Structure 1
């Protein structure tokens, strides 16, 4: 009889293991290609993921494809960057698709910014006065309202993934959410997160060393994206071409910025690929600086396949330009 029960128990455990291995992967939709890459890193073979915004696209202003509702209606999880990045288009898309599982505040919704270090949005008048860098020490613990559903602070600078230290937090958020939704593979999600964490921390040491010679180096940027990288490495952003996202800079602002860049002997103007290159190049020509377009997302078209590789490309180009 004991042998019979032993046989039954063995068959039972085999059945559990086979059932687990044959279970369908979690169906995930991420708002950006960068978020989708982190999902793949942590979720591996236990997830399928589709991104709404591709690498080179502007994530602030999106005209979602009607076919996206098919994916969203089947999704077990929606992963967002948060901090208002998708605010102009995502709420309407979720409402149209009518999948209650992925609504904000539900178990199928994940805001990757939870727990991340968030810098404040700069004030345009302060930028014109040339002391934008003094704002960088003020974090989202200041007087910023919180989302009443998720409790996450809003109105911060939503480009927080451009501090690699925040990438670790984003990956941890994913491992916790995936483990909650799919506890049978929780150990694997945690293992994948830990492996990513070790790799990222190892590379951050090298990147910090690589950028140390440029501490206090004066730079200018097109938009607000590079505040995180500047804060991490002590770069001085003395001005921004477009301090309010989506609003083209006025002539007076550009004139003041050009004179400030000349006075501060700025050599580089940083920008993203989707930002207005015509305006930036006019400002650069007038002030005698070079424009440097850096990636801010995973982008298959540029052969940037994961989060760490994106930063490898950023630091390679940035350090080379600052040293010239």
Structure 2
């Protein structure tokens, strides 16, 4: 939404809500309503809950979860939610609290039983002090009393972290719907088994690229890079969620001069006007690097509603790009 003209913001917000409400329709009264702050979380829950649940989300796969206006058009669905799935490392810090404060569903408020922290038991990488220094994100989380507890909130981009996320969803569903706990357990176990087998395959696929140097625009691909031994020599954003200036681009070019950078990574949501893609393309040309634009979410519209299919796509695109000199 940050990328759109101001006059279209409300239109897009309303459209997004109505499209989200249209997905997985035909709700019966017996079904649980599970709301994810992001489409990725909601679609993961759908794989565990199957036909026993309906899912909705606030932030679609084509949107940046950092930048959402806390518009009251989201309140009707939140007020009906049986469970609210949240990132847990406060990617939603700038807007979710405002929505919940305006809502009437106390059971999904922060730290309540039906407010589900999907990062529990996930491996979380810390931000450095410099990455957060004088950033709006850090100001917000300090104001919420979270400054010492929040890590890098892009943890779902390590496929191994999907395992505890699935477990957290299974526990939550079983807690509010114990009569169907065996189904949730079976679905979760089947999905985790598939993931564990595929993780072995993906890890093997990435072995040839260990040690390759890359640049990431944002600190989102940190988890994947660390998992596979890719060296992030620099981020384009000077600090978390801080838009780089032309001086930052120039400084980056000087710092990286002489280093062999294989690729520059962007996500599909990082686009103009917030992200200066032309400057990034210029960097890629300057460094003889491949510019890789990857999705950071499952997507109903792109027919990637299975977490294994999603990561298959990510690894296929990444390995293909890194294979080229």
TM-score normalised according to structure 1 size: 0.82
Residues 248/318 of structure 1: CA separation in 2 closer, same or farther (3 Å cut): same
Aligned match of 1:320:
320
| Mapped pair 1:25 → 2:18 | no
**What corresponds to 1:309 in structure 2?**
309
Q: Equivalent residue for 1:195?
A: 190
Equivalents in 1 of 2:161, 2:147: separation in Å?
A: 15
8 Å contact kept, 1:161–1:167 = yes
Give the conservation status (yes or no) of the 8 Å contact 1:238–1:260.
Answer: no
Pick aligned residue for 2:267 from 268, 272, 280: 272
C-alpha deviation, 1:124, in angstroms: 4.5
Residue 88 of structure 2 is aligned to residue 82 of structure 1 = yes
Structure 1 residue 205 corresponds to structure 2 residue 195: no
Which residue does the alignment assign to 1:258? 253
Distance in 2 (CA, whole Å) between partners of 1:121 and 1:83 is 11
| Largest Rg, 1 or 2 | 1
* Matching residue of 2:52: 46
- Following superposition of structure 1 onto structure 2, how do residues 94-105 of structure 1 map, counting pairs within 5 Å? 94-105=100-111
In the alignment, what sits opposite 1:170?
165
Structure 2 CA distance for partners of 1:153 and 1:108, relative to 1, 3 Å: farther
Alignment: residue pair count = 283
Q: Extract unaligned runs of 5+ from structure 2.
A: 1-27, 133-140
In 1: Cα distance, 2:283 partner to 2:130 partner: 17
Instruction: Provide closer, same or farther for how the CA distance between residues 289 and 153 of structure 1 changes in structure 2, counting only shifts above 3 A.
Output: same
Deviation for aligned residue 1:27: 1.2
Alpha carbon RMSD of aligned pairs, Å? 2.3
Q: Aligned equivalents of 1:220 and 1:322: distance in 2?
A: 12
Does structure 2 retain, via aligned residues, the 8 Å contact 1:120–1:155? yes
Secondary structure at 1:27 match in 2: strand
Query: Partner of 2:126 in structure 1?
Result: 120
Q: How does 1:285-296 map to 2 (within 5 A)?
A: 285-296=285-296
Q: 1:84·1:154 contact (CA, 8 Å) conserved in 2?
A: no
Quote the residue 1:221 is aligned against.
216
Partner of 1:297: 297
**Residues 123 and 264 of structure 1, relative CA distance in 2, 3 Å threshold:** farther
Which deviates further from its counterpart, 168-177 or 151-160? 151-160
Any conservation in 2 of the 1:32–1:55 contact (CA below 8 Å)? yes
Distance 1:188 1:121 in 2: 38
Q: TM-score, normalised by structure 2?
A: 0.81
Q: For residues 153 and 29 of structure 1, do their structure 2 counterparts lie closer, same or farther at Cα, with a shift above 3 Å needed?
A: farther
Following TM superposition, by how much is the alpha carbon of 1:23 offset from its aligned partner in structure 2, in angstroms? 6.2
- CA drift of 1:108 comes to 1.3
Shift, 1:64, TM fit: 4.3
Deviation string, structure 1 residues 272-322 (Cα, Å, up to 9, x no partner): 112212342233233332211011001233332222111111100100111
Post-superposition shift, 1:121?
1.5
- Asked if residue 93 in structure 1 is aligned to residue 104 in structure 2, the reply is no
Q: SS of 1:36's equivalent?
A: helix
Distance of 2:313 and 2:107 partners within structure 1: 37
Distance 1:183 1:317 in 2: 40
> Tell me, what secondary structure is at the counterpart of 1:300?
coil
Question: In structure 1, how many angstroms separate the alpha carbons of the residues matched to 2:295 and 2:301?
Answer: 11
